[in-house]
């Protein structure tokens, strides 16, 4: 005889597509209502997608989002779904700019909000208090913080509502809603995946539940948005810290759970907490109890693989590409990229091109051919010798200039086929080689999406082995040729070249990169960890130089408020309506 | 009989080059001392360059900057310059991270500080209170705000010290140092140029001087740092609002001025204001009075030209490029870029390449030739027909794919020559065509620096006319061929093509872009300004699509805290010592 049936809607919105996202929300509410939900909660910014970045500075977009939420409330009621209260995250505004004295600078005019819809109306609203501005987050730049807390009374249960970062801050809204004696704390989130994030996220939710003696329901977005991947992993934790329900990672999911929260008291609310009484709806004690799902997280490598697959799929689909194309060198990086692409959108939409030069080994062609056959992708061969020679002769290029020419001819081929046939070009470089600048600008770096951009080389091998073993365990053909995994890596830009001619072994390289880039350690610190000083000096110098090389095409002087690059450095993928 | 001789040092630091910047500071203090200065003030972050971006997250860099300031104090004393107090801006740290609850996120460990050096020691220190986080500024992300105000007592004059944004905020530190009855307010700045910035900056300084009844001395950095250009324009304004001294724009300058501020009172200081007594030094009433310079600002077009020239020069010099190379099409954009480059580093370091195709007009070659001769730059011709044909035939490319091929062959030529000979490649696109995506990715967009990235097409023409008139007025050869200015613009990728085949007239285009990008207006708003709706819809759609095209090579899924791109999106140019 549960007192509240809660539905957490883990959805995958398309950034900027207000109408499309609203339609998908209505479908999900219909599903939740058919399962007897008393309350449905969607993720942060579910109506607009997240992060909205520069769109937060456009008054017309904010007004459209505001309007769309009110329209959604009416549409839900017209669809016979007006009874069940629905919590939906959205950008709101435009508001008066946050005061910045006389600087006359472009300032925040938006809030990161959640509205509660019932009976055809927006009956309550909350604005996020804590605006993260570290790592991938830029919220302090674009949002005005909220200053009022919200408690919803549903029949006789008090439900407090906060947004994402609000949960993370000690002494933040969580501490104050505690005084409201809520039985349930709903947190709506746009929390991107990163490796081992479950080692901080779930313990935090658990700790907050225990600290506040409240059930905590955590609903997250899912899906790829440019270089972010939201993993879902929505969860409900009881006030004793036990997991009551958990959604699977990396898929859309409606998590329905029956809860028995503490009843509301008539405790005096703090001044900044607003309580809103909702209509009772259908009492849930008439419904047979539901056994809530508690999904298990797969192991680390499978999580990473799933993240990479979903990121690529959503980039392709949300940007409406029919297919992808990539160079297949016979090496490990392009093989893993091809396997990710086939898992993401099916092998029939993956086009591989072998582009052998006069220095290419026999195995580079046969391994590429083997890969194409294992995966079942489209495969063609475009030799580059006759394309490169005229440049080399006319310009008199030698040494590295001539080596780079080969990589650039391949870039021109892939972009030409992309322009002719419509494919998205994948660039296959991994994080280790990107970090040290071991690639050719406008050559192998050409492409619209880089599946392995954040995957160090040692992890590329690990993922390849995992993916093959995973296939074997299910009786499928392992997609990646064993030879691509086991042979020494080489750019094959001159005879008998291998990566280790100019780089240390990859296990050493990756460890130094981890210390220098992720750890922020100095050269002295890294040497102290046990690495050879000349190697550390060489690698850190390569990283500093590559940092510069990576942005070789983005720099130009700024003379106005809205130069491209720095000001407009917050681009978004998809704007179906330029409002 | 002035009571205080103040020297404002408008210097051009190299980002990250702590030792080099310190050496230049010592030279400047020696100069100021020889001119009898009682107090010398350098700009914001003068010891490290500005903005330091991701370096603010590196503990070892912060420790090195901190140490370097203390070493500088000792070096000044050893050079016999210990008497004169010197105010110098610098990053400071590492400090305990700013509390962000349990989120375990990378947070600020640095402060944006100013130290006062005298007698071989750091005798006082101030940390910036207001951390701008809009437009090009990301300071809230990387710095911890200061919470104490500083007043220096020099003989019997109280000098309040604040940093940049502190001046802009109503009710900020300025209001509070007013209670300290200071006679002089010194503001050290890193304030980048933008068009018409003098229309807000000087009025603000003037207003603060009048409001606080205090002399305000505003010292700014000068120089190019990636896409920012600091313009100097340091100024001293009397308490009646009159300009007492003003440094010229876009050059290093030591501005020396004799001031007669109100004497110190023994007013009780607010709790958060610290007063530090400095040694008296040599009394300045022994020195003959100096007539301070009051530089005049040149007109708008000359200011912009100077900004573009300085930005290019500093990018080339600070990154140690021997020379630049660019394609010369005979059109206006490449002509203006070549003229800027010649003004920046001299024609002997500028290499132009004419790369005619089978569609190139006769005038494209003759105009390029004319330009090269006028400017006196190095010039060569590399026809592309024989380079393009093998690709076109082998891949079967047609239409736009074939057009892009021509632009990409040119990109390969310029990068090949760059790799072979060491030049920095300039990409010559203007802001209007970048905004609507009227360029070929990995084609004409190839290059390390884009001089016209933030210059709309109409302004390109205006600058060309201004530069030619400027030359004529000085009896010099106008650098830009009249025909390049007057002929209709064309990409010449097919026969008889002009830009206006696919774009509206540039005056209309630029006005719509201004409204949409700079003004943040909606389509409806822009139509209401009097533009044709279909044109507005087409242009705004092109902008939205181009926004996506511009970052085609930057995207990849993020799976760790330090993916390249978003996290490491704050790169800096030059790190001579990887500390």
**pLDDT recorded at residue B329:** 95
The answer to whether A462 contacts chain B (CB < 8 Å) is no
In whole angstroms, give the CA distance from residue B160 to residue B151: 4
Question: Could you give all domains of chain B from N- to C-terminal order, each with its CATH number?
Answer: 4-279 (3.60.110.10), 301-494 (3.40.50.620)
Q: Which of A327, A363, A553, A383 is nearest to B418 (CA)?
A: A553
- Nearest chain A residue to B553 by CA distance is A448
Cβ distance of A100 and B140 shorter than 8 Å? no
Q: How far is CA B374 from CA A500, B362, B427, in A?
A: 50, 18, 21
Q: Residue A416: what pLDDT?
A: 96
Between CA A466 and CA A471 the distance in angstroms is 9
Q: Is B460 on the interface with A (CB under 8 A)?
A: no
Q: Which residue of B has its CA nearest to A16?
A: B544
**Residue B337 appears among annotated catalytic residues:** no
For strand A121-127 and strand A111-118, is the pairing parallel, antiparallel, or unpaired? antiparallel
| A12 Cβ neighbours under 8 A, 6+ residues apart | A221, A222, A223, A230, A252, A314
Residue A330 DSSP code: S
Question: Which pLDDT band holds residue A568 (cuts at 50, 70, 90)?
Answer: very low
**Which residues of chain A make contact with B416, given a CB cutoff of 8 A?**
391, 395, 397, 401, 404-405, 408
The 10 Å Cβ neighbour count of residue B8 is 30
Q: What is the DSSP string of A94-132?
A: --PPPP-TT-------BEEEEEEEETTEEEEEEE-S---
Number of neighbouring beta carbons within 10 Å of residue B241: 15
pLDDT, mean of residues B225-248:
94
The stretch A549-567 carries a mean pLDDT of 48
Q: What is the mean pLDDT of residues A310-330?
A: 92
Report whether pLDDT(B543) > 90: no
- A334 annotated ligand-binding residue: yes
Q: Does B107 touch chain A (CB under 8 A)?
A: yes
Comparing A359-363, B7-11, B569-573, the range with the smallest average pLDDT is: B569-573
| Most confident listed range (A397-406, A428-437, B277-286, B509-518) | A397-406
Provide the residue count of chain B: 579
pLDDT in tens, B429-438: 888 988 888 8
Query: Which range has the worst mean pLDDT, A331-335, B113-117, B189-193, B496-500?
Result: B496-500
Q: A248 in helix, strand or coil?
A: coil
A362 contact partners, CB below 8 Å, separation of at least 6? none
Query: Residue B451, exposed/middle/buried by CB under 10 A (0-12, 13-18, 19+)?
Result: buried
Q: Which of B53, B75, B139, B164 is catalytic?
A: B164
Q: What residue has token string 């009843």? A: A263
- Cβ atoms of B151 and B124 closer than 8 Å: no
pLDDT average, residue stretch A179-207: 90
pLDDT > 90: what percent of chain A? 65
Cα distances (angstroms) measured from residue B531 to each of A18, A43, B504: 27, 39, 11
Question: pLDDT for A535-557, tens place per residue?
Answer: 999 998 888 777 655 544 434 55
Cβ neighbours of residue A470 under 8 Å, at least 6 residues apart?
A: A302
Per 3-state DSSP, chain A is made up of helix, strand and coil in percentages (nearest 5) of: 40, 20, 40
Q: Is A567 on the interface with B (CB under 8 A)?
A: yes
pLDDT digits (tens, 9 = 90+) for A125-159: 999 999 988 877 889 888 999 999 999 999 889 99
Q: Report whether pLDDT(B235) > 90.
A: yes
Please give the average per-residue pLDDT across B128-149, as a whole number: 89
Confidence of residue A558 (pLDDT cuts 50, 70, 90): low
pLDDT-derived band at B549, boundaries 50, 70, 90: low
pLDDT band at A364 (very low <50, low <70, confident <90, very high): confident
CA-wise closest residue to A437 among A412, A485, A404: A404
Is B128 a residue of the active site? Answer: yes
Residues written for chain A: 579
Using a CB-CB distance cutoff of 8 angstroms, which residues of chain A are in contact with residue B522? 58-60, 579
- Does A454 contact B412 at a Cβ distance shorter than 8 Å? no
Quote the CA–CA distance of A426 and A447 in Å, as a whole number. 5
Q: For residues B180-206, give the mean pLDDT.
A: 91
Express each pLDDT in A40-76 by its tens digit: 999 999 999 998 887 888 899 999 999 999 999 999 9
The span from the CA of A498 to the CA of B3, in Å, is 71
Nearest CA to B36 out of B72, B6, B74 is that of B6
Which candidate in B556, B574, B576 is best for mutational testing of the A interface (most A CBs within 10 A)?
B556
A556, A570, A575: best to mutate for the B interface, most B CBs within 10 A: A556
| Pairing outcome for strands A149-154 and A273-278 | parallel
Q: Considering just the CA atoms, what is the radius of gyration of chain B in Å? A: 26
Q: Which residues contact B323 (CB under 8 A, 6 or more apart)?
A: B345, B349, B350, B351, B421, B422, B423, B424
How does pLDDT run across B51-87, given as a tens digit for each residue?
Answer: 888 788 889 999 999 999 999 999 999 999 999 999 9
Tell me: is residue A19 an annotated ligand-binding position: no
In angstroms and rounded to an integer, the radius of gyration of the C-alpha atoms of chain A is: 26
Query: Mind telling me how many Å the CA of A415 is from chain B's nearest CA?
Result: 8
A145 or A493, which is more confident: A145
Structure tokens at B363: 């005038």
Q: What tokens does A53 get?
A: 């970045």
Backbone φ and ψ for B88, nearest 5 degrees, come out as -135, 135
* Distances, alpha carbon A4 to alpha carbons A10, A158, A254, A282, B285, in Å: 19, 11, 16, 11, 83
Q: Is B104 annotated as a binding residue?
A: no
Tokens of A108: 């925040």
Residue B289: the pLDDT is 85
> Hey, is the C-beta of A141 within 8 angstroms of any chain B C-beta?
yes
Model pLDDT for residues B485-512, shown as the tens digit of each residue = 999 888 888 888 888 888 899 999 999 9
Q: Strands of A213-306 (E only): list them.
A: 215-220, 222-225, 228-231, 235-237, 243-246, 253-259, 273-278
Interface of B with A in 309-328 (CB under 8 A): 311-312, 315, 319
- Give the mean pLDDT of B277-301: 84
* Torsion angle of C-alpha atoms B330, B311, B578, A536, degrees rounded to 10: -10
User: What residues contact A369, with CB distance under 8 A and at least 6 apart?
Assistant: A354, A379
Q: Alpha helices, DSSP H only, in B378-398?
A: 385-395
Return the structure tokens found at B513: 């872009």
pLDDT band at B96 (very low <50, low <70, confident <90, very high): confident
In this prediction, residues B159-176 reach a mean pLDDT of: 86
Q: Give the tens place of pLDDT for each residue, B437-458.
A: 888 989 998 888 889 988 999 9
**Confidence category of residue B100, pLDDT binned at 50, 70, 90:** low
Which residue among A53, A75, A139, A164 is the active-site one?
A: A164
CB within 8 Å of B32: residues ≥ 6 apart: B7, B9, B40, B84, B254, B256
pLDDT at A566: 39
Q: What is the complex's ipTM, to 2 decimals?
A: 0.93
Q: What is the mean pLDDT of residues A513-523?
A: 86
Residue B252: predicted pLDDT: 98
Instruction: Read off the tokens for A359.
Output: 């220095």
- Mean pLDDT score across all residues of chain B: 89
**Is the confidence at residue B578, as pLDDT, over 60?**
no
In whole angstroms, what is the distance from residue B271 CA to residue A297 CA? 54
**In b/e form, how buried is each residue of A363-390, taking b as 16+ CB within 10 angstroms?**
ebbebbbbbbebbebebeebebeebbeb
A329 assigned binding-site residue: yes
Beta strand residue intervals within B83-213, DSSP E: 86-92, 111-118, 121-127, 149-154, 157-163, 184-189
The top-scoring range by mean pLDDT among A548-557, B17-26, B174-183, B439-448 is B17-26
B89-104 burial: b if 16+ Cβ within 10 Å, else e: bbbbbbeeeeebbebe
To the query of whether residue B139 is one of the catalytic residues in this protein, the response is no
Best B559, B562, B571, B575 member to test A by mutation, with max A CBs in 10 Å, is: B559
| Strand (E) or helix (H) holding A318 | helix A300-318
Quick one: pLDDT band at residue B556, thresholds 50, 70, 90?
low
Backbone angles phi, psi at A218, to 5 degrees: -115, 110
- Most distant pair of Cα atoms in chain A: their distance: 87
Query: Is B452 in contact with A564 (CB distance < 8 Å)?
Result: no
Q: What is the pLDDT of residues B105-129, one digit of tens each?
A: 557 899 999 999 999 999 999 999 9
pLDDT tens-digit profile of A85-122? Answer: 999 999 999 998 765 554 555 578 999 999 999 999 99
Closest alpha carbon to A105 in B199, B166, B133, B163: B133
Given a cut of 60, whether residue B1 has pLDDT beyond it is: no
What is the DSSP-derived secondary structure letter of residue A514? Answer: I
- Taking a C-beta distance cutoff of 8 angstroms, is the pair B544, B522 a contact? no
In the predicted structure, residue B563 carries a pLDDT above the cut 70 = no
Residues 321..360 of A with a Cβ closer than 8 Å to B: which? none
- Note the pLDDT tens digit of each residue in B311-339: 999 989 988 889 999 999 999 999 999 99
**d(C-alpha B139, C-alpha A54), whole Å:** 18
Structure tokens that stand for B270 in this block? 């607010």
Give the model's pLDDT for residue A549: 57
């Amino acid at each position: 005889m549960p007192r509240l049936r809660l539905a957490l809607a883990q959805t995958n919105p398309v950034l900027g597509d207000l109408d499309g996202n609203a339609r998908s929300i209505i479908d999900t509410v219909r599903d939740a209502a058919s399962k007897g939900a008393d309350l449905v909660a969607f993720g942060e910014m579910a109506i607009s997608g997240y992060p909205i970045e520069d769109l937060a500075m456009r008054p017309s977009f904010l007004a459209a989002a505001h309007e769309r939420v009110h329209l959604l409330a009416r549409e839900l009621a017209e669809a016979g779904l007006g009874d069940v209260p629905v919590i939906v995250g959205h950008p709101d505004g435009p508001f008066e700019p946050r005061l910045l004295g006389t600087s006359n600078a472009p300032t925040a005019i938006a809030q990161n909000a959640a509205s509660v819809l019932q009976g055809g109306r927006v009956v309550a609203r909350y604005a996020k208090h804590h605006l993260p501005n570290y790592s991938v987050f830029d919220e302090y730049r674009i949002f005005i913080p909220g200053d009022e807390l919200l408690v919803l009374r549903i029949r006789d249960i008090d439900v407090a509502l906060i947004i994402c970062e609000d949960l993370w801050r000690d002494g933040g809204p969580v501490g104050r809603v505690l005084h409201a004696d809520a039985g349930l704390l709903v947190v709506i989130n746009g929390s991107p995946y990163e490796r081992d994030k479950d080692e901080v996220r779930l313990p935090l939710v658990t700790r907050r539940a225990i600290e506040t003696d409240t059930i905590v329901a955590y609903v997250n977005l899912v899906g790829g948005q440019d270089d972010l991947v939201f993993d879902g992993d929505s969860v409900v934790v009881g006030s004793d810290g036990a997991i009551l329900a958990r959604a699977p990672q990396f898929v859309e999911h409606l998590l329905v759970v029956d809860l028995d929260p503490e009843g509301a008291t008539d405790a005096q609310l703090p001044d900044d907490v607003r309580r809103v009484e909702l209509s009772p709806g259908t009492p849930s004690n008439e419904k047979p109890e539901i056994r809530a799902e508690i999904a298990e997280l797969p192991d680390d490598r499978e999580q990473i693989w799933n993240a990479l697959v979903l990121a690529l799929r959503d980039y392709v689909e949300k940007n409406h590409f029919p297919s992808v194309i990539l160079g297949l060198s016979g090496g490990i990086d392009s093989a893993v990229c091809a396997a990710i692409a086939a898992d993401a959108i099916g092998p029939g939409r993956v086009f591989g091109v072998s582009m052998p030069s006069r220095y290419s080994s026999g195995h580079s062609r046969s391994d590429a051919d083997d890969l194409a056959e294992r995966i079942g992708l489209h495969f063609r061969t475009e030799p580059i010798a006759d394309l490169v020679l005229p440049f080399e002769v006319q310009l008199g290029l030698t040494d590295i200039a001539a080596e780079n020419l080969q990589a650039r001819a391949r870039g021109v081929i892939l972009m030409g086929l992309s322009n002719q046939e419509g494919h998205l070009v994948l660039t296959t470089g991994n994080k280790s080689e990107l970090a040290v600048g071991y690639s050719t600008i406008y050559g192998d770096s050409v492409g619209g999406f880089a599946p392995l951009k954040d995957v160090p080389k040692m992890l590329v091998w690990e993922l390849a082995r995992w993916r093959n073993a995973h296939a074997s365990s299910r009786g499928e053909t392992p997609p990646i040729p064993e030879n691509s995994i086991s042979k020494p890596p080489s750019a094959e830009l001159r005879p008998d070249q291998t990566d280790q001619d100019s780089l240390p072994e990859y296990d050493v390289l990756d460890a130094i990169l981890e210390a220098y880039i992720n750890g922020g350690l100095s050269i002295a610190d890294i040497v102290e960890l046990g690495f050879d000083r000349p190697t550390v000096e060489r690698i850190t110098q390569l990283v500093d130089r590559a940092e510069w090389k990576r942005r070789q095409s983005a720099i130009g002087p700024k003379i106005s408020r809205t130069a491209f690059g720095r000001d407009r450095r917050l681009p978004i993928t998809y704007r179906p309506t330029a409002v």
